[in-house]
Amino acid sequence: MNILLHFIFIAAFLFIYIVAIIILKPFRLHHKRPVSTLFLKLSYLVYLACFLLFAYLILFFHAGSEISEDPSEEQVLNLFTLFSLMAFFIPNIGIMVRRSVRSWRITYNYLFSVVNLIIAAGLIYFISDMPWTFK
């Protein structure tokens, strides 16, 4: 049963990723700003892949060995939670709002591309730093 649940979540995450590719159409370039648009779309897809992997690991694996009462570890957990919330909302809002930005669109595309890549790098850091064990 557990393997079936893993398969269902992997299939659902792949479906989400494929739908994101279909909706974004990453290789359909804008005639006025092709490079910045391509950079934004590809950086979002990199972010989304990292976030879906992170979500899968959070769902099925345990990220620690024991609970401690150390205040510094509690602060790290609070920062981790805050980063996770920001990692969920900021890139998604950025990709949805992009069409309403008109005057400084190229700067906006590059700014959110960098934000997407920074958040993806942070997610990769958290994924590689935590001692994942199977639940």
Task: Report yes or no on 132 lying in a domain.
Answer: yes
6 half-sphere exposure, CB direction, 13 A CA radius: 8
Give the domain range for residue 59: 35-63+81-135
Helix, coil or strand: residue 52: helix
Encoding tokens for residue 121? 């790098």
Once rounded to an integer, what is the mean pLDDT over residues 87-95? Answer: 94
Task: Report yes or no on 90 lying in a domain.
Answer: yes
Convert the pLDDT of each residue in 33-67 to its tens digit. Answer: 899 999 999 999 999 999 999 999 988 887 665 55
Bridge partner list, 133: 62
| 26 CB neighbour count, 10 Å cutoff | 16
Q: Is the pLDDT of residue 131 over 90?
A: no
Domain tally for the chain?
1
* Mean confidence (pLDDT) of the chain: 88
Task: Report yes or no on 108 lying in a domain.
Answer: yes
The pLDDT of residue 125 is: 92
Task: Report yes or no on 92 lying in a domain.
Answer: yes
Residues listed for the chain: 135
**Which residue type is seen at 2?**
N
The pLDDT of residue 48 is: 97
Helix, coil or strand: residue 32: coil
Confidence of residue 104 (pLDDT cuts 50, 70, 90): very high
The pLDDT of residue 68 is: 58
Task: Report yes or no on 113 lying in a domain.
Answer: yes
